[in-house]
Amino acid sequence: MSTPAITPKHVSDSITEMTELVLPNDTNNLGTILGGKVMHLMDVACAIAARRHTGRTVVTAEVDSLSFLSPIHAGELVVLKAAVNRVFHTSLEVGVKVFAENLRTGQRRQTASAYFTFVAFDENGQPTPIPAAIPDTADEKRRFEEAAMRREARLKRKKG
């Protein structure tokens, strides 16, 4: 029995933006958001983007190149932007950037970024093929190409 054709989807269909206010209970003794809280928010934003693309249950398989660039202070907004970079077969890479926004001035600065790999599962809990990602913009095409190189590097490390 052959599997039905899976219609590719545009990268833009997966774009997810989340915003959250940094409250005192989210911070360390320096008044900046806990790194673990930022990682959690990144995982959620990426999972939403992956779910939008696949229409399936997805689980985090790997986090790559997580970089913290600057702190986010209590009272600022955390703004996360995530989108699918590339689909492989049953897995996909989602990129996320994190920004801090000053509510008084509206100024934003990038504070973190990472790449998350997810695996999609069918109704029986088995990895399942997912739609290809169609990059349209120059930035999406660059991220698409770079995702293949990152995947190759990840696979080499696993064999390692």
Per-domain boundaries in the chain: 9-159
One DSSP character per residue, 100-133 reads EE-TTT--EEEEEEEEEEEEEE-TTS-B---PPE
| pLDDT > 70: percent of the chain | 97
pLDDT digits (tens, 9 = 90+) for 89-148: 999 999 999 999 999 999 999 999 999 999 999 999 999 999 999 999 999 999 999 999
Give residue 150's identity as a one-letter amino acid code.
R
pLDDT digits (tens, 9 = 90+) for 21-36: 999 999 999 999 999 9
Predicted TM-score of the model (pTM): 0.94
Q: How many CA atoms lie within 13 A of 86 on its CB side?
A: 15
Residue 74, pLDDT > 80, answer yes
Residue 4, pLDDT > 60, answer no
CATH superfamily of 9-159: Hotdog Thioesterase (3.10.129.10)
pLDDT digits (tens, 9 = 90+) for 6-59: 899 999 999 999 999 999 999 999 999 999 999 999 999 999 999 999 999 999
**Per-residue confidence (pLDDT) for residue 159, from 0 to 100:** 87
